[in-house]
Structure formats: C-alpha cells, structure tokens
Amino acid sequence: MIRHSLPIVALALLQSAAAPLHFASDAAAQSPPAAADRAIAAHRVQASHLPNPVQIGDKVISGGLPEDEQAFAELRSLGVKTIISVDGARPDVAMASRFGLRYVHLPHGYNGIPTARAQELAKAVRDLEGPIYIHCHHGKHRSPAAATVACVAAGQIPADDATAILQLAGTSPNYQGLYRAAQSAQPIATAELDALQVRFEAQVSPPPMVEQMIAIEQTHDNLKRLAAADWKVSDKHPDLDPAHEALLMREHFTEMLRDRDAPQSQGFQQSIRDSRDAAAGLEAAIRQGLPNDVRRQFTDRIEANCKSCHRQFRDIPLAP
C-alpha cells in the first residue's frame, strides 16, 4: 500500500490545504520519474530549517512551510523579502513581520492552477520585492508547480524547463493537474501583466471545508511525529498526547460527516465514516496499550481511504 496521503479528501473545487504525509516507517511511497537529461538552471538550495527548497529562477525559491523562528531567520539569511503561500492554511504573518518579511496569500489546490491565479502569481513574482519564497506545506507539489508557472509566465525561466523542475522538486506524477499547469505555462505579455489589477493580501479566508482539512492535516502531522517516537510523548513535543491526538482525528472526521457542504455521495460518506471508525480504533488501541502493529492497521485504513478519495475527488486535473 502506498502511504503518502493526508487522511481526508481535498475537493478539486476547493483550495486544498492538505499535503501528502507519511507515517514514520513509510518507505514505499511512489517516487516521481527521474529528471530529464537536459540541463536546467534550477537547483536545490542548502538549508537546515526549510523543507525541500529549490531555486526556480534568479528571484524565486520554492519550498515548504517555514514553521518556526529558525525557518524565518533562515529565509532572511537567504535574502528573501517576500513570502507567497499557495497553501490553504493561514500564514503566520506576525512571525514573518518580526523578521522583516512580507506575506502574500495566493492559495490553490492539487488539481491545477486556475488561469486567474496563474496570472496573479506571475504579476507577484515580477512586481513584488525579491527574492521571493513560494511555499505550500511540504514544498514538493503545489509550490514548485506554482513557482514554475509564475516564473514561466513572468518570462523569468524557459517554458521548456517546467517538467524537469517539478521532477527535481519531487512532485508526484499523480498530480496530473499540477504537471499540466506547469507544462502549459507560457509567457504573459508585459502589457497584459501591467494592466492586471491585483490586491495582494497577507491572508485570505478559506472555505469551511478547507478549514476542516487544515485541522485534519495538523492532527495528522502530530500523529506522524508520535509514530516516529514509537507512540511515546517526546521531549521535543511534550504537549502531544497520542490518545488525545487520535481522539481529535476522530472528531475531525465526525464534523466532516455533519457538514452539509461536504459531498453527499455514498462513496465519500462511507470513506469518511470508515476513517472516523479507524481513528476511534487507533484511540482505543493507544489507550489499551496494544502493540504498534495493531495501531498501524488503523492508520493503514485511514491512508487507504484517503488515497481513494484523492484519486476520485482531489487530483482530477482542471479542465484545459
């Protein structure tokens, strides 16, 4: 079983906040194809506190979420002046401000990058103060796609580099919409970008469904940390209680079932119910001190459900 998904469907019609995640022993995740042979200017950036940073063009770096003071300090040390989040989660504007960095929030989903958003991203990388750091959550899928589209559209990198850049960043080939967006990007005329009126906001409010997915993602991140620590409270995260995190996961799925705006199809509802029950089973297994292999049976159920839901609802490419 491929274990690489957040345990919740991220609908194609919403700005998804979820990102593919792994439990501690997940070594079987699908790898993207090898990068193309042609030489490209894009390259990995050496960093200690930023996930998967890749220099896309002279002005733009893509990567994952800066989660703490060390990450923001590292951005400042790299000379970054502007941060663009394409993730649905609310950016930490206050922390960025402490380090003299501007935040801009331009979220998009896993199914592709709508034309209007691509234009806004292009204008942002052209006009905002750089260097610019574009991030999603883990920096592997949405942010390299967004950065590539933006840089191609702004005339900062060749369109032919698109596929190789996504492969360099480790973007999964399962995200056909992201690859399609990058591969189809073309330079936008200077006059068209000049005429484009954009109000770059530091935060935008996601739809309620996306807020629920953000909460699930955060809880799943916590469960991942606990699994890596053999389901024990660690000195690094003393506030994380395994049983409580499993309880929170169960409640998140329960709330999803109550959401009238969520898909009402039988397949979706059954998947969420089974994930809720699996989270309840995980909680019981933790409280009863059952072995880790029993706990993994429940996490495997959640992961299988999410993989199926992503395939059906989230990863469907946007129409050309």
Rounded-to-integer distance, Cα 227 and Cα 129, Å: 41
Q: What is the pLDDT of residue 295?
A: 93
Query: Higher-confidence residue: 304 or 15?
Result: 304
Rounded-to-integer distance, Cα 180 and Cα 168, Å: 16
Of 75, 67, 20, which is closest to residue 45 (Cα–Cα)? 75
Q: What is the pLDDT of residue 245?
A: 87
Average of per-residue pLDDT across 45-50: 95
pLDDT at 273 over 60: yes
Joined together, the tokens standing for residue 4 give 């690489």
What are the tens digits of pLDDT across the range 92-113?
A: 999 999 999 999 999 987 778 9
Residue 83: pLDDT band with limits 50, 70, 90: very high
Rounded-to-integer distance, Cα 110 and Cα 15, Å: 8
**Distance linking the first and last C-alpha atoms of the chain:** 31
Q: Residue 89 region, left (φ>0) first, then alpha (ψ -120 to 50), else beta?
A: beta
Share of the chain above pLDDT 90, in %: 50
Q: What is the pLDDT of residue 4?
A: 33
Find tokens 């009863």 and name the residue: 288
Relative to beta strand 60-63, strand 102-105 is unpaired
Of 271, 294, 272, which is closest to residue 283 (Cα–Cα)? 294
Average of per-residue pLDDT across 85-89: 88
Instruction: Find residue 55's DSSP bridge partners.
Output: 43, 61
Of 68, 111, 105, which is closest to residue 88 (Cα–Cα)? 105
Average of per-residue pLDDT across 111-131: 93
Per-range mean pLDDT, top range of 98-112, 146-160, 251-265, 284-298: 146-160
